[in-house]
Chain A
Amino acid sequence: MAGRDPEKLLPLTPSVFHILLALADAERHGYGIIKEVEARTDGRVRLGPGTLYGSIKRMLDERLIEESDARPDPALDDERRRYYRLTDFGRRVAAAEAERLSGLVAVARAKQLLARA
Chain B
Amino acid sequence: MAGDMRTCSTRLYALLLAAYPSEFRREYGREMTLVFAARCRERAGGAAALAGLWREALADLLRAAARERLEGLMKDGRLMMTLRTVALAALAYAFTLFVVAPLFVGNIGRLPAFACYLLDALIFTGLVFNFFFLALTLTRRREGVRAVRASLWITTVVVAVLTAAMMLDTWQPAEINLWVVAAQVLSLLVWHTAHLWWVLRREGPAAPTPAP
A interface residue numbers (CB < 8 A to B)? 29-31, 34, 46, 48-54, 56-57, 78, 80-82
Contacts and interface: CB of A to CB of B under 8 A. Distances in A.
B67 A54 contact: yes
Interface in B17-62: 20, 24, 27-28, 30-32, 34-36, 38, 56-57, 59-61
21 contacts: A30-B31, A30-B32, A30-B35, A34-B35, A48-B56, A48-B57, A48-B61, A48-B64, A49-B60, A50-B64, A50-B65, A50-B68, A51-B64, A52-B35, A53-B24, A53-B28, A53-B31, A54-B68, A57-B28, A80-B30, A80-B31
A81 B27 CA distance: 12
A78 B28 CA distance: 15
Where chain A touches its partner, the secondary structure class is helix
Contacts of A34: 35
Interface size of B as a range: 20 to 34
Nearest to A47: B60
Nearest to B62: A50
B63 A50 contact: yes
Contacts of A78: 34
Nearest to B68: A54
Contacts of B56: 46, 48
Contacts of B27: 57
A31 B35 contact: yes
A31 B38 CA distance: 8
B133 to A, nearest CB: 33
The 10 closest A-B pairs by CB, nearest first: A48-B60, A50-B64, A49-B32, A53-B28, A49-B35, A50-B60, A54-B64, A31-B35, A31-B38, A50-B61
Given A54-B64, A54-B68, A57-B24, A48 B34 contact: no
Given A50-B32, A50-B65, 20 more contacts: A29-B31, A30-B32, A30-B34, A31-B34, A31-B35, A34-B35, A48-B56, A48-B60, A48-B61, A48-B64, A49-B57, A50-B60, A50-B63, A50-B64, A50-B68, A51-B63, A54-B64, A54-B67, A78-B34, A81-B34
